A and B are shown apart, each in its own frame.
Chain A
């Protein structure tokens, strides 16, 4: 695997984004200015959320950081190295679980290892441990079709974490789940991240979710997306059910809400 200069074992990598924008052409030939000169630094091991309205470019930003699409301008560095293609040290979770129906749960979690031609036995213990952490111990030999949506998404998260990536990118991973499952997943993710402590970039529509999970919240404007503000949440960890009833929580949410209202999103008219 590639050398990662500033990464300690089990912790996250630094991410530096400077002056990054993205413009692309649609199939119809229209030019879409998706992202407008975004600059941000993620500290190693930090949990940062991006909150913004639909179409503001937050998913695009994540794809740029992952190296799967190139930026139009600016530079992105992950772990001190410039991003020039899909970064193997990043784990990704999308809104859809994208599990392979024809493989068992364990085989699904071990997919990244298989693709990199690594010895599966090295990672099998880790995979089982991750599955047990999310309450799926004993489900290793089942098939995805036998699991509910929430369970499948948990497997997807285990898959992203099995190689202990320095960076975890999550694009609205709980968006397709019902509200109760979503809250449970927030608690589960919080717990898993507490153990892994990689750098996380978490994209969401939900202000509450962003504030609950993150160290800092990046608030984006509508398209073309740029950063309106970055809020340091400043709440203690580990977070739990009690966190949502603390005053600081409500203050953060109110701050973000007002920013959106000023942009014309969430108007009361």
Chain B
């Protein structure tokens, strides 16, 4: 048997990769610290009033002081985000499947979705409050409506991205439509679907906060309104800071799920470097 030249990808030793990652993160950390320092001393030097732009230290103090208030409201917002996101996944992906497999459904659903997209969700929120009251549902609905569009779009793109020859190949093996879907189309579409999920989770956070601005009794958006009324700008900024941390955390959770469910995708992207 002829000797085969191996073309397997050799991974660098873990220590080298770890050092590389640390040096990349290190740069980010240095940048963040530089910005914070500039902010701190800039506001003091220019004598900017506390209620316009508080210093990072003031925000930190407020964070530590009011941490249980922030935590309680964070949980309320998170609940809305997760429910809205979950709903958009449960509705969005089957919708995408329907659009890929049925021309008629594609036209009907597509038209409906695009027209829905052009309506600002902010405008719909008061209607939801009217129908469903001040509780969870209006926020969840707004989060859902904003988040499900990227999911549908990325899922249809992913599901359609199968090469025709691949379909021919499995058909020649005798595959049914269901088998083709489960074994070929769906796994093929997962990277694209996850891309949509990553966008959607951010959108869901926006949706939940927007919903809270309209009508709420708890949550980080609600807290922002309260802080605004009381001119408690450090609290306002603290809420924003917590909100962004929440967004990053949720985004990374989706990234983690992606890494666990489609580990092979990272191998491919690594290979092209």
A interface residues, Cβ below 8 angstroms from B = 63, 66-68, 86-88, 90-92, 94, 96, 98, 100-102, 111-112, 114-116, 132-133, 135-136, 142-143, 145-148, 151, 184, 187-188
B7–A94 CB distance below 8 A: no
Of B42-50, B75-83, B171-179, which binds chain A? B171-179
B174 partner residues in chain A, CB cutoff 8 A: 86, 88, 115-116
B8 partner residues in chain A, CB cutoff 8 A: 142, 146-147
> Which residue, of B9, B169, B262, has the highest number of chain A Cβ atoms within 10 A?
B169
> Does B184 lie at the interface of the complex (its beta carbon under 8 Å from any beta carbon of A)?
yes
A96–B165 CB distance below 8 A: yes
> Does B4 lie at the interface of the complex (its beta carbon under 8 Å from any beta carbon of A)?
yes
Assuming the contacts A135-B2, A143-B264, A146-B267, asked whether A92 and B9 have C-beta atoms less than 8 A apart, the reply is: no
A114 partner residues in chain B, CB cutoff 8 A: 183
> Does B273 lie at the interface of the complex (its beta carbon under 8 Å from any beta carbon of A)?
no
B183 partner residues in chain A, CB cutoff 8 A: 100, 111, 114-115
A146 partner residues in chain B, CB cutoff 8 A: 7-9, 267
Q: Could you list some 26 contacts between A and B, CB below 8 A?
A: A63-B168, A66-B172, A68-B168, A86-B173, A86-B174, A87-B172, A88-B174, A91-B172, A94-B165, A94-B168, A96-B163, A98-B169, A100-B187, A101-B265, A115-B179, A135-B1, A136-B4, A143-B264, A143-B267, A145-B267, A148-B5, A148-B7, A151-B4, A151-B7, A184-B2, A187-B2
- In the bound assembly, the distance between CA atoms of A242 and B124 in angstroms comes to 78
A68–B171 CB distance below 8 A: yes
A92 partner residues in chain B, CB cutoff 8 A: 168-169, 172
Q: B270 — nearest CB in chain A belongs to which residue?
A: A145
- In the bound assembly, the distance between CA atoms of A142 and B235 in angstroms comes to 53
> Does B19 lie at the interface of the complex (its beta carbon under 8 Å from any beta carbon of A)?
no
B262 partner residues in chain A, CB cutoff 8 A: 102
B1 partner residues in chain A, CB cutoff 8 A: 132-133, 135
Name the interface residues of B256-272: CB closer than 8 Å to any CB of A. 262, 264-265, 267-268, 271
B173–A115 CB distance below 8 A: yes
B interface residues, Cβ below 8 angstroms from A = 1-5, 7-9, 163, 165-166, 168-175, 179, 183-184, 187, 262, 264-265, 267-268, 271
Q: A135 — nearest CB in chain B belongs to which residue?
A: B4
- In the bound assembly, the distance between CA atoms of A63 and B172 in angstroms comes to 10
**What 17 new A-B contacts, CB under 8 Å, besides A86-B172, A135-B2?**
A67-B172, A86-B171, A88-B174, A90-B172, A91-B172, A94-B165, A100-B184, A101-B264, A111-B173, A115-B179, A116-B173, A136-B4, A142-B8, A146-B9, A146-B267, A147-B7, A148-B5
Assuming the contacts A142-B8, A151-B7, asked whether A102 and B172 have C-beta atoms less than 8 A apart, the reply is: no
A112 partner residues in chain B, CB cutoff 8 A: 173
- Our count of residue pairs bridging A and B at CB distance below 8 angstroms stands at 79
B264–A102 CB distance below 8 A: yes
- In the bound assembly, the distance between CA atoms of A88 and B1 in angstroms comes to 31
Given A87, A102, A188, which contacts B187 in the complex, CB threshold below 8 Å?
A102
Q: A87 — nearest CB in chain B belongs to which residue?
A: B172
B173–A88 CB distance below 8 A: yes
A100 partner residues in chain B, CB cutoff 8 A: 183-184, 187
B169–A94 CB distance below 8 A: yes
- In the bound assembly, the distance between CA atoms of A100 and B267 in angstroms comes to 13
- In the bound assembly, the distance between CA atoms of A66 and B166 in angstroms comes to 14
Assuming the contacts A135-B1, A148-B7, A151-B4, asked whether A98 and B172 have C-beta atoms less than 8 A apart, the reply is: no
Q: Which 5 A-B pairs have the closest CB atoms?
A: A148-B7, A135-B4, A112-B173, A115-B173, A102-B264
Q: B262 — nearest CB in chain A belongs to which residue?
A: A102
- In the bound assembly, the distance between CA atoms of A116 and B174 in angstroms comes to 7
A98 partner residues in chain B, CB cutoff 8 A: 163, 165-166, 169
- In the bound assembly, the distance between CA atoms of A87 and B171 in angstroms comes to 9
> In the complex, how many angstroms separate the beta carbon of B191 from the nearest chain A beta carbon?
10
- In the bound assembly, the distance between CA atoms of A143 and B174 in angstroms comes to 24
B175–A115 CB distance below 8 A: yes
B169 partner residues in chain A, CB cutoff 8 A: 92, 94, 98
B264 partner residues in chain A, CB cutoff 8 A: 101-102, 143, 145
> In the complex, how many angstroms separate the beta carbon of B1 from the nearest chain A beta carbon?
5
- In the bound assembly, the distance between CA atoms of A135 and B2 in angstroms comes to 7
> In the complex, how many angstroms separate the beta carbon of A265 from the nearest chain B beta carbon?
26
- In the bound assembly, the distance between CA atoms of A145 and B267 in angstroms comes to 7
- In the bound assembly, the distance between CA atoms of A136 and B264 in angstroms comes to 20
> Which residue, of A87, A92, A115, A136, has the highest number of chain B Cβ atoms within 10 A?
A115
- In the bound assembly, the distance between CA atoms of A143 and B263 in angstroms comes to 11
A188 partner residues in chain B, CB cutoff 8 A: 2
Q: A154 — nearest CB in chain B belongs to which residue?
A: B4
- In the bound assembly, the distance between CA atoms of A236 and B160 in angstroms comes to 48
Q: B180 — nearest CB in chain A belongs to which residue?
A: A115
- In the bound assembly, the distance between CA atoms of A98 and B2 in angstroms comes to 25
B187 partner residues in chain A, CB cutoff 8 A: 100, 102
> In the complex, how many angstroms separate the beta carbon of B11 from the nearest chain A beta carbon?
10
